[in-house]
Structure 1
Amino acid sequence: MADSGAWHIVEDDLSGAAIRALLEQHFAGMLANSPAGSCHFLDFDGLRAGNVTFWSIHRDGALAGCGALKMLDAGHGEIKSMRTHDAFLRQGVAARMLDHILAEAQARGAERLSLETGSSPAFEPALALYRRYGFEDCEPFADYKPDPFSRFMTRALQI
């Protein structure tokens, strides 16, 4: 659901100062909690790639978070760049964005949705959210390699 009350999700072109600042914070957070070689976030150019759709979520006009869907192939999508703005933590931002990404992946015909995230304690809230949504640990997918600093998760989608 793209709009729920005061919440609004929009496809974002990454040109705004607020979204760029949030992504810079996201990049820094990833690098602060995992070695650089184990960080697999998409930079600004990567988020603009043809197989990636990037969204921002807003509440009453304020940027609350972001997320992206990278289509690996016609039947397999990957969640990228999920981040909640600090001012909106524990207000359901990530769940709303995850609902949106799941719906978009299904609408595009994906049969599976996967993700890579960190394995340190800093990533436990994200891991808990993904588990609540039925994601399960899996082996590395796409071009990923086994890495003790990465967790790989996946779930089948109902078409």
Structure 2
Amino acid sequence: MVDFEPGRLDRDDVRALLAEHLSDMFATSPAESVHALDLDALRDPAIEFWSAREDGRLLGCGALKDLGDGHGEVKSMRTTSAARGRGVATAVLGHLLGVARARGFGRLSLETGTESYFAPARRLYLRHGFVPCEPFADYVLDPHSVFLTREI
């Protein structure tokens, strides 16, 4: 069973997972196309962060950014390598959708990459009702970015 713990960006395992996430993003996409958030950016008051745990062990994480006007954005979704293929990403996404619904959001959007590295993420989002959309918030068209959205 996956438990969700809010905040706790100070935990070593969370910091290591987010550092790995940023490293992979910069290794996979051009720097100008990396929209992953560092620890300081995740402390923005408009962002809520959760870690997914099983028996205290970190499995993954995800964040929800309030864009205003009932619109939220999925940020920093990541699973540990040991947890991949176990449905953790689905659980994290489900948690974020539930929080967005509870907060009264009518729409949830996200940006992910176009490279093959991101194919599993794109399949996950499409499987859960996200559809392609135009850039939102401060994003601009970018050949290395895919924009997805869904109503809640």
TM-score, normalised to structure 2's length?
A: 0.98
Partners of 1:151 and 1:7 in 2: CA distance: 28
Aligned pair count reads 152
Q: 2:84 aligns with which of 80, 83, 89?
A: 89
Q: What displacement does 1:12 show?
A: 2.1
SS at structure 1 position matched to 2:45:
coil
Aligned pairs (5 A) from 1:1-159? 6-157=1-152
Partners of 1:99 and 1:132 in 2: CA distance: 12
SS at structure 2 position matched to 1:141:
coil
Unaligned runs of 5+ in 1: 1-5
CA offset digits 1:1-20 (Å, max 9, x no partner): xxxxx321110220011000
Partners of 1:9 and 1:52 in 2: CA distance: 16
The structure 1 segments of at least 4 consecutive aligned residues displaced by more than 2 Å after TM superposition are none
Aligned alpha-carbon RMSD (Å): 0.7
What is the percentage of aligned positions where both structures have the same residue? 52
Partners of 2:45 and 2:104 in 1: CA distance: 17
Q: What displacement does 1:61 show?
A: 1.4
SS at structure 2 position matched to 1:123:
helix
Unaligned runs of 5+ in 2: none
Larger displacement relative to structure 2 (42-51 or 75-84): 42-51
TM-score, normalised to structure 1's length?
A: 0.94
CA offset digits 1:78-123 (Å, max 9, x no partner): 0000000001000011000000000100111100000001110000
